[in-house]
Every structure is written in C-alpha cells, then in structure tokens.
Amino acid sequence: MRRYFLMAMPMVMLLVACTAPSSQPTAGTSTPAPSSSSASAAPSHSPSSAPGSSETGDGGPSAGDDEPGRFSYRCTSLDASPEVQLSSLAEVWAASNYTRMDSCEVTYAGNEPFVPTAREAEAITMAAPQGVVAEDGLATMQDVLRLCTRISDETGPGGFEEASHGTLLAAAALCPDAPQGKIIAAWAEGTRVGDGNHVVGETVAPGGVQLLKPGAEASECTWSVAAPDGSVVDSGGVPEAGKNVELEAGQNFSSDKCGIWGKMY
C-alpha cells in the first residue's frame, strides 16, 4: 500500500498543475488595459428631451425653446393657490395648474446689458417695426413673452384685446405651440376680436363672425355693420349675434358690451 500511495501522489500533483488557470494570456488574444479614471465615468446620456431643448421635425424651434433662466415668470392663480416662480415658457406651459393661472409677469434675469438673441430680435422688430432703443426692446420682448404665457381674461387689462397688432403677430410667430397658440394667432389675424370699432380688412377679417364668448354685460349687447359711407347695413343684439354676421372689406363693424367675436369661415 505504501508503494501505491507514493506512486499516486505525483499523478495527483500533475493533474492539479494542468487544471489550474493560467496567469498568462491565451495565444492570439490581448489583455485589456486597465481603465483610466475618465473611462470609468458614468455612461453618457442621450440628448435631453425635456421641453425647451427639443426641436421640431423641420429643425425649427419647438415649444418653449427659450433659454431657461434668461427670463423669470411669476404667475398668479385664479384660485387661492400661491404664486409660482418659473424659469422658462416650457415650465409655464407644463405647469400642472396652467389652466388655473390668471397671468404671468415676465422679468429679465439674464446677463446685463440685455442683448437680444436672433429670435428675440426678430420678435422685437415684428412687434415694433419702427425700431426701438435697447431699453424699449427689452420691454417689447417682455410684452411678447407675457402673451405667450397664460392670459385668462382675453379682453381684460393686459389681455389680447388691448395688445398691439404687432405684439400679437410677434407672439403668434414666437410661440405657435403654446397652449393658447391658436387663440393668439386668431387675435393676430383678426379672426377673433372684442368690443370696439373695427375696419373690416384691417383689425377684423372679412367673412362671417359670431359671438363666441359673451361678456359679463352681454344682455345689453348691441352691434352694427356700416358701409364706408356710414349707412347701416346690419345691426342687432345677442339673439342675432349667435348667427353669422357677414362682414365685407371696407365696412365698419362696431360692438358694445357683447364680448368676443370669432370668424366662422
């Protein structure tokens, strides 16, 4: 037995040596180099898809592509909710209480002095085509951005009705994807107007209009359509305002205590 044991031991040691993992690389392969500290950094992420950084399919700016932090938006609510401070149009539009917002105050929060970006300069020129000094340019830009936020009362103070035609055009061009984008465009195009005197073809578009949103005093609503010579072509109150009122270029359309009119076709 002792002789068999002595003969078996070398065989066991030989088998162990053959099966142990080799510390040398296998022929034809290379050992990966140790990773450096920069290589061990967290994997890179795809470009952010958050509002304000994306683009539309045609490469144009998407909703809320204003630079976060360049302007500050302090928005009040129609209910008892506290004011909210937001840093971009995208944040305003995405706010969970957007439909309960009353309006937003816009202030410049970027580097001084204010130097408009290419898109801002275009909006300022559209809103004030006669040209403005730098200080007025900032005020004009703030007016445009405010119309792009949230306007709860279209005909009230600071609403679409009292905004200049140029400012409405600039807002419609700057933020077509805003929740109120179509309403802004309608005011800019004259397919949506409030009370007052309007020259058809200038401040109100030709075609059929109806009373879309009666005002608080709509029970006393009166309106009329007059030819260029002043002769009355059509007139009425709330009952007739619910039907199409035909407007032709050159006519004068006046409305008092009615509300908001909209072009139907």
pLDDT reading at 41 higher than 50? no
- Residue 163 DSSP SS3: coil
Which whole number is the average pLDDT over 111-118? 93
Query: Any idea which of 19-33, 203-217, 219-233 has the lowest mean pLDDT?
Result: 19-33
Does the structure show a pLDDT above 80 at 7? no
Q: Strand 245-247 relative to strand 207-214: parallel, antiparallel, unpaired?
A: antiparallel
Location of structure tokens 């088998």: 15
What is the predicted pLDDT for the residue at 67?
86
Cis omega (within 30 of 0) for bond into 113: yes
- Report the chain's mean pLDDT, rounded to a whole number: 80
pLDDT digits (tens, 9 = 90+) for 147-171: 999 999 999 999 999 999 999 999 9
User: What is the model's pTM?
Assistant: 0.74
Quick one: average pLDDT of 132-143?
A: 85
Q: How far is the C-alpha of 190 from the C-alpha of 194, rounded, in Å? A: 10
Closest CA to 253 of 216, 227, 219, 220: 227
Strands (E), the chain: 71-77, 84-86, 101-108, 192-193, 196-199, 207-214, 222-226, 232-236, 245-247, 252-256, 259-263
- Least confident interval from 30-34, 160-164, 214-218: 30-34
pLDDT at 233 over 80: yes
To 10 degrees, the CA torsion angle through 113, 115, 120, 126? 90
264/85: higher pLDDT: 85
pLDDT at 143: 96
Return the pLDDT at 128: 87
% of the chain beyond a pLDDT of 90:
68
Q: Which pLDDT does position 65 carry in this prediction?
A: 54
pLDDT of the residue at 115: 93
What was the pLDDT predicted at 129?
76
Say how far apart CA 132 and CA 116 lie, in whole Å. Answer: 12
Q: For position 263, what pLDDT does the model report?
A: 82
Higher model confidence: residue 45 or residue 229? 229
Interatomic CA distance for residues 25 and 30, integer angstroms: 7
